[in-house]
Amino acid sequence: MTRDTLTPEEWSQLRLERLQTTLNRAYRNVPFHQNRQNEIARKTRRDPSLIEDIREIAALPFMERKHLGEHYPYGLFAVPLRDIVRIHTAPGASLNPTVTGYTRQDLNLWREVVARALSAAGVTPHDILQISLDFGLANWGRDYKDGAEELEIGVIPNAPLSPDKQLMVLRDYKTSTLVTTPSEAGHLADLMFQAGMNPTATNLKRFILVGEPVEADFRNLLTERLHVETWVHYGLSEVPGPAIGFECAEHQGLHLNEDHFLAEIIDPVTGRVQPEDEIGELVLTTLTTRAFPLIRFRTGDRARIIPEPCPCGRPLVRMEWLSDRTDDILTVNGVKVHRDQIQSRLARALGFSPDSRYFVTKHPGEKKYLEVWIGMEYSFFSDEIKDLEKQVDGLVETLRENLGVPVRIRLKEKASLADILSESGI
Amino acid sequence: MLRIKNLRCYYGRIMAIKGVSLSVMEGEIISLIGANGAGKSTLLEAACGLLPSWKGEIDFQGNSLKGCDGPAIVRKGISLVPEGRLIFPPMSVTDNLKLGAYTRYRKRQHAEVARDLEMVIDLFPILRERANQPAGTLSGGEQQMLAIGRALMARPRLLALDEPSMGLAPLMVEKILDTLQLLKKEGLTILLVEQNAQAALKIADRGYVLETGKIVLQGNASDLLSDVEVKRAYLGKDYEEFYEGRD
């Protein structure tokens, strides 16, 4: 059953059925959800799983990123391990990574979701689709590969290639569609011009941009420089998965896959559900996911539901995905990095918690990277430059491996660290 | 076609169906599966007017079934093939079939009823051979055919079946299910309640898994058919093993 073939009443019934099933399964199979629902039942004397209207979900508590780490590794799985066919790890908000699982049915779901989004972007079996995503978005790489294969599109799967090799593949393998992050797209565009590669001499005609919101100016720049059309997809990087929202040919907001996800926009401070058309934090509930149900998951992404119907005629509601976040998570090339996690990793590696600052930096001609400034401590100091370099290299490697993003570390005089930051306007 | 929303059914103070929502679209075969005591038959009884009271909404073709008794629901187009067949053993096969058209005689549809009797007998040729035999002398499979035939005599738009495979040999189960597929092709909508999950899902478009009065799984029948959880739900196995190795 698809939205296109259902009346509004049937559509509303379908979503209610799926929500009730999700809540029943979460309650039955996941102690975390069971305890929280029991808590509400004690307070309100009403079984929260007996939701009679989809809007009543607002009575349930939020799930946050910290919960994913607290129940490491399998505490939020709603199926036995033997039903899991894929396990994925992503950097979490704490020392523990986020571990998610997929059942065979979940893989089918993501295949369908991604295929739908790629179809909307006009990708067909005549296309060659290349995936170029950072290590931290490896699960999306697999989902895009599966979704493209579902449409019988020729896929060049995600691989850890150097930028030069990526360009070579893009040119020689006649890539027509590139799935990548906006940061990577900008970087590749720079490299193409540096290498003297004429974009019109390649087969490239569209970018599927994922992982970060995209500014209109940047899209225009890509279109002008590379003569490509850009399509934005929205997804969750730590938990499954990509293309929860996708653009149609109108490029006026992202259609949400409402048959599989329930979206709410909340006030990030009060937690109250915002009226339609108001900007707030996007909260997602999965309606069909088997292994890893999310119930009112706070994404930290700022968004607005667009109430008007789309000129394309698709009945799926649209959202506007806005830059900036409602939490203090950093996004590096589409990968979410939590400040607490950086600090915890540094403390574990150094044996003490240093005074430090973190931000995302981008230099012309380079990809974005996580820049970490550390205030020097006596215990960390060495009069041997080689020793210091070795320590810094070790820290870079630790952070890169655990966060899944490129990292650079700069050592600063501790006393003046705050002043430097202040002068830099950071 | 049939829309059940937030259905709650009680036996005394015990809630047997706990806020179930389920829908059957025109032309579909929907399988409702689950272990013994999950509430499948109760749900069917509510939809067929056999429960004195329930809460929630049940609509058929846009009209509420609230307050409708069994005969009224049959007139609206839903026929039930009850669990255990419940044929009338001393009566002949033909009389059992004619009883299925009880609500139509009052509308003076005698000619149509006679035609439908022929149609049912064509569908189950064995019933022609047994036409004058007391229904109680039929085999289990033949009785099931008679029960389905009797339900069809009411000319339903939706045929609801409660455990039609119960107590039948595998070959007979296959025959009954083949007949249901044939009826679907002819435009009949079917709600099939079964413990035999594998058999039911094989012919269904979509399925729902009911457990202790709640829907815990649903989806396309082909997806559910390959789902190990369905087997578990069907067998009603303990879920303690879910937590093994997770902490």
pLDDT in tens, B62-90: 999 998 998 899 999 999 999 888 888 89
Distance from B217 to chain A by nearest Cα, in Å?
A: 6
Q: Give CA–CA dist A331/A182, Å, rounded.
A: 11
Q: What helix, strand, coil percent values describe chain A, rounded to 5?
A: 40, 25, 35
Distance from B34 to chain A by nearest Cα, in Å?
A: 14
Q: Give CA–CA dist A104/A111, Å, rounded.
A: 11
A72 to chain B: nearest residue by CA? B247
pLDDT of residue A299: 94
Q: Give CA–CA dist A140/A234, Å, rounded.
A: 11
Q: Give CA–CA dist A107/A113, Å, rounded.
A: 10
Q: Does B159 touch chain A (CB under 8 A)?
A: no
**For A141-160, what is each residue's pLDDT tens digit?**
999 999 999 999 999 999 88
pLDDT of residue A369: 85
In this predicted model, which residue has the larger pLDDT, A13 or B114? A13
Beta bridge partners of A321: A303
Q: Give CA–CA dist B218/B235, Å, rounded.
A: 17
Q: How many residues does chain A have?
A: 426
Angle of CA points B192, B197, B203, to nearest 5°: 55
- Residue B42 makes CB contacts below 8 A (sequence gap 6+) with B9, B11, B16, B17, B51
Query: Given a cut of 90, is residue A411 above it in pLDDT?
Result: no
Would you call A198 helix, strand, or coil by DSSP?
Answer: coil
Q: What is the mean pLDDT of residues A313-342?
A: 85
Decide: residue A126, CB within 10 A, 0-12 exposed, 13-18 middle, 19+ buried.
exposed
Query: Given a cut of 80, is residue B98 above it in pLDDT?
Result: yes
Q: Which of B3, B216, B242 minimises the CB distance to A21?
A: B216
Q: Give CA–CA dist A80/B245, Å, rounded.
A: 9
Q: Which of A21, A31, A51 minimises the CB distance to B215?
A: A21
pLDDT of residue A1: 58
Please provide the CATH number assigned to the domain covering A338-424: 3.30.300.30
The H or E element that residue A27 is part of is helix A8-29
**Per-domain boundaries in chain A:** 1-326, 338-424
Confidence of residue A422 (pLDDT cuts 50, 70, 90): low
Query: Given a cut of 80, is residue A49 above it in pLDDT?
Result: no
**For A149-198, what is each residue's pLDDT tens digit?**
999 999 999 988 888 888 899 999 999 999 999 988 888 888 888 888 88
Query: Given a cut of 80, is residue A240 above it in pLDDT?
Result: no
Q: Give CA–CA dist A78/A259, Å, rounded.
A: 20
Distance from A232 to chain B by nearest Cα, in Å?
A: 29
Helix ranges (H only) for A61-162 are: 65-70, 104-120, 138-150
pLDDT of residue B238: 43
CB-based contact B179:B148 (threshold 8 Å): yes
The residue of A14, A25, A34, A85 whose CB has the most chain B CBs within 10 angstroms, and thus the best one to mutate to test that interface, is A25
User: Is A17 in contact with B247 (Cβ distance < 8 A)?
Assistant: no
Mean pLDDT over each residue of chain B, to the nearest integer: 87
Helix ranges (H only) for chain B are: 40-47, 70-76, 93-100, 102-105, 110-123, 126-129, 140-152, 170-185, 197-203, 221-225, 228-235
User: Is A16 in contact with B241 (Cβ distance < 8 A)?
Assistant: no
Confidence of residue A4 (pLDDT cuts 50, 70, 90): low
Give the A window 297-316 contacts with B, CB below 8 Å.
none
In this predicted model, which residue has the larger pLDDT, A349 or A266? A266
Q: Give CA–CA dist A10/A19, Å, rounded.
A: 14
CB-based contact B214:B43 (threshold 8 Å): no
The H or E element that residue A284 is part of is strand A279-286
State the fold for domain B1-41+52-77+156-167+174-237.
Rossmann fold (3.40.50)
For residues A381-400, b (16+ Cβ closer than 10 Å) or e, as one string?
eeeeeeeeeebbeebbebbb
Q: Does B231 touch chain A (CB under 8 A)?
A: no
Q: Give CA–CA dist B103/B108, Å, rounded.
A: 10
Count other C-beta atoms under 10 Å from residue B210's C-beta: 25
Q: Which of A1, A74, A83 minimises the CB distance to B246?
A: A74
- Identify which of B36, B126, B121 has the alpha carbon closest to the alpha carbon of residue B83: B36
Amino acid letter at A322?
A: L
For residues A13-42, b (16+ Cβ closer than 10 Å) or e, as one string?
bbbbbbbbbbbbbbbbbbbebeebbeebee
- Identify which of A176, A239, A236 has the alpha carbon closest to the alpha carbon of residue A208: A176
CB-based contact A231:A209 (threshold 8 Å): yes
A123 phi/psi in degrees, rounded to 5: -75, 135
Region for residue A334 given its phi and psi (left: phi exceeds 0; alpha: psi -120 to 50; beta: otherwise): left
pLDDT of residue A132: 92
Give the A window 98-157 contacts with B, CB below 8 Å.
103-105, 108
The H or E element that residue A256 is part of is strand A254-256
**For A76-101, what is each residue's pLDDT tens digit?**
999 989 889 999 888 777 778 889 99
Q: Which CATH architecture has domain A1-326?
A: 3-Layer(aba) Sandwich (3.40)
**For B172-213, what is each residue's pLDDT tens digit?**
888 899 999 999 999 999 999 988 888 889 999 999 999 899
Pairing of the two strands A369-375 and A407-412: parallel
Cα B132 to the chain's mean position, in Å? 27
ipTM of the complex model: 0.87
Helix ranges (H only) for A93-228 are: 104-120, 138-150, 163-172, 182-194, 216-226
CB-based contact A110:A140 (threshold 8 Å): no
Query: Given a cut of 50, is residue A263 above it in pLDDT?
Result: yes
